[in-house]
Amino acid sequence: MLVEIEQLIVFTVPHLNPPSTNHIYETCYYNGRDGAAHRGKKLTPEVKAFREAVAIFARGRSVAPLSNSERRKVRYGVRIDVYLGPNARGDFDNFWKSGLDALQACGVIHSDNYVDGEESRCVVHKDERHDPRTMYTVTRLEPKC
């Protein structure tokens, strides 16, 4: 898959809001290499669906540099606008974390550690049209000298 590197990416994920960080993982049981049963955790179907939707609407675009030396220097500006549907509620911190994880999972950014706190924010809106959606604006910032 050929990834096109851009400076600015804007896209909308219709009908979905980022899942709460309280519901990212669910408990699962598995048999380990030692043959014993272990308890672990896995992503919930809700989180998987949201990450897949972000990947679909991002369309393979990325602002992340290809070389590791450039990745250490780059910063990202991210704005996430969450429009809640009727009777929906949520905390912007939860939306922020889930939203950034989805961007990283689909390759729009290489790591959420490089998101610039001064150039980034999450805004939660009550939508009058009853049309829940999540809008992303991701910018590759020039390195500070």
**In terms of pLDDT, which residue wins out, 139 or 118?**
139
Alpha helices by DSSP H, 38-140: 45-58, 68-71, 92-105
Q: What is the mean pLDDT of the chain?
A: 89
Neighbours of 36 (CB within 10 A): 7
- Token readout for 129 is 């049209």
Interior/surface letters 51-74, b for 16+ CB within 10 angstroms, e for the rest: bebbbebbeebbbbeeeeeeeeeb
Return the pLDDT at 44: 92
Inform me whether the pLDDT recorded for 76 exceeds 60.
yes
| SS3 (DSSP) at 131 | coil
Listed in sequence order, the residues at least 6 apart from 85 whose beta carbon sits closer than 8 Å to its beta carbon are 17, 127, 130, 131, 132
Q: Give the pairing type, strands 37-43 and 61-62.
A: unpaired
Mean pLDDT of 74-101: 90
Return the pLDDT at 88: 82
**Interior CA angle at 67 toward 59 and 57, to 5°?**
10
Return the pLDDT at 93: 86
Mean pLDDT of 45-70: 92
> The whole model's pTM is what?
0.84
Inform me whether the pLDDT recorded for 21 exceeds 90.
no
Return the pLDDT at 145: 57
